[in-house]
Amino acid sequence: MSSLVPESLSPSLESFWQKTQSDTSAAPAWWQKRKAAEWEKFQSLPMPRRTDEDWRFARINSLNFDGYTEPQPIDEEGKRLLEERSLLPTEVAGVLIFINDRLVSFQAVDPKLAEKGVVWKPLSQAVEEDSDLLEKHFMSQPIELGSEKFSALHGALCKEGSLLHVPKGVEIDKPFVAYHWASGENASIFPHTLLIADEMAKVTLVDYFASADPNSRNLAIGVNDLYAGKGAKVTYLSAQNWSLNSLAFHLNSTQAFRDAFITSLNLHLGGSLARTESHSQILGENAHTEMLSLTVANGEQQFDQRTLQTHYKGHSVSDLLYKNALFDNGRTIFSGLIRVLEDAQKTDAYQTNRNLLLDPTAEANALPGLEILANDVKCSHGATTGQIDEEQLYYLLARGIPRKEAYKLLTYGFFEEVLEKLENSEIQEHFRDLIKSKFQTS
């Protein structure tokens, strides 16, 4: 089969791969083997095609990998500046700061937690020290939403990220925080997050992603895999603020076992094209997953959101709410599927996509879907796309608030329904500030 899209993406990525191979020559054999297999997979898989269902409405020709390269190390001054820009809550359980997939700052867990077996460390260190755990879990969850090729590139080139393992019964209230910075023109990074919460564990992890320079062009392919064991309570929050020239992928898989409770909230602000895939798998009864997402699309930005809620077991709840605010020529695609298998009776599964169009030139596409094989379930899906409420706008104007400011306020208000669910008020405030800062620069 021939294709108009070149399958070999970029010579600079080729040399990136060669460098990665030589850098990992002392790593455990399985790690080297795994990476080689991922590289091979990356090369052999075709580029997405316009006709692929998983890429419906996406602008395939925006997937341009030319020039993306291995990022350069940055100097001490640059490190210092980015560390300063890495805003942290006052109370944290642990911190990892990476620039260009290199560790620059590491706050380990409290020794008491370490004694209980809590593992929090950079991936590069985990490859050496926690090889068995990593071998079992590293990218072991299926990618089913269309980005198999890019996930494989991540697998091949990924060298940093965070490993967080919370053993049975350990509850940690303070959040773990990881920062991932991309610095330099064409810098490509592959941040990885692996969170394993064993039975009855409780944990919160926050990932921040950003370009150091708002004008640089970056490639970021991040993968985050979450495991919530029986009765575990997991909160995963992320905020991406890549430069507006960047190409970004955030690929998530989540497994929820019996009685697990998972909340995830992802804030998407940056990227010229940002694709997110999120797959929530309900593997046990009485599990509850909440999938929340907020996106501001403006300028020429495109956000491509693909979600899947798979219920293998019954008596569980999955609840998805994706809210997009669109300005200018901003464009979003939400494509979501709820899949309930035969055994998953008494499932409650909900999927909601709300789009707020603030300019007539913006475009929101919604493709909600249900695939239900069980006969005793409660499922709903819905997508709404609307403009600003004229009476609300008038009320703000009538108080002297200029139209542009009124739009911003109404956008913040539109997001508040989701933000108010955040328990940590500092992180909540930080997310609000990130949203505001997007409007200040545009």
Q: Which residues bind another protein (CB under 8 A)?
A: 389-392, 394-403, 405-406, 409-410, 412-417
CB 296 within 8 A of CB 325: yes
Pick the closer one to another protein by CB: 273 or 406.
Answer: 406
Residue 365 C-beta: closest distance to another protein, Å = 24
**CA pseudo-torsion sign 262, 303, 191, 11:** positive
Residue 405 C-beta: closest distance to another protein, Å = 6
Pick the closer one to another protein by CB: 308 or 410.
Answer: 410
In angstroms, rounded to a whole number, what is the distance separating the alpha carbons of residues 312 and 31?
A: 30
In angstroms, rounded to a whole number, what is the distance separating the alpha carbons of residues 293 and 305?
A: 10
**CA pseudo-torsion sign 76, 80, 85, 87:** positive
- Kind and range of the H or E element at 427? helix 425-441
Pick the closer one to another protein by CB: 169 or 394.
Answer: 394
Please give the C-alpha separations between residue 370 and each of 291, 348, 424, in angstroms, as whole numbers: 16, 12, 33
Pick the closer one to another protein by CB: 373 or 397.
Answer: 397
Number of C-beta neighbours around residue 149 at 10 A: 20
Buried b (16+ CB within 10 A) or exposed e, 2-35: eeeeeeebbebbeebbeebeeebeebeeebeebb
Say how many CA atoms lie within 13 Å of 211 toward its Cβ. Answer: 26
Pick the closer one to another protein by CB: 65 or 439.
Answer: 439
CA 318 to chain centre: 18
Residue 325 C-beta: closest distance to another protein, Å = 12
Residues with Cβ within 8 Å of residue 324, at least 6 apart in sequence: 294, 295, 296, 297, 303, 305, 332, 334, 353, 354, 355, 356, 364
Residue 85 C-beta: closest distance to another protein, Å = 21
Residue 381 C-beta: closest distance to another protein, Å = 22
Residue 255 C-beta: closest distance to another protein, Å = 32
Number of C-beta neighbours around residue 386 at 10 A: 10
Pick the closer one to another protein by CB: 87 or 401.
Answer: 401
Pick the closer one to another protein by CB: 117 or 413.
Answer: 413
Residue 236 C-beta: closest distance to another protein, Å = 23
Tokens linked to 379? 């499922």
Pick the closer one to another protein by CB: 342 or 417.
Answer: 417
Number of C-beta neighbours around residue 313 at 10 A: 21
Residues with Cβ within 8 Å of residue 380, at least 6 apart in sequence: 349, 350, 351
Residue 403 C-beta: closest distance to another protein, Å = 7
Residue 357 C-beta: closest distance to another protein, Å = 17
Tokens linked to 128? 């050496």
**DSSP code of residue 239:** E
Pick the closer one to another protein by CB: 75 or 390.
Answer: 390
In angstroms, rounded to a whole number, what is the distance separating the alpha carbons of residues 322 and 336?
A: 10
Residue 103, strand partner residues: 98
Residue 400 C-beta: closest distance to another protein, Å = 4
Pick the closer one to another protein by CB: 91 or 417.
Answer: 417
Residue 3 C-beta: closest distance to another protein, Å = 46
Number of C-beta neighbours around residue 102 at 10 A: 17
Pick the closer one to another protein by CB: 72 or 442.
Answer: 442
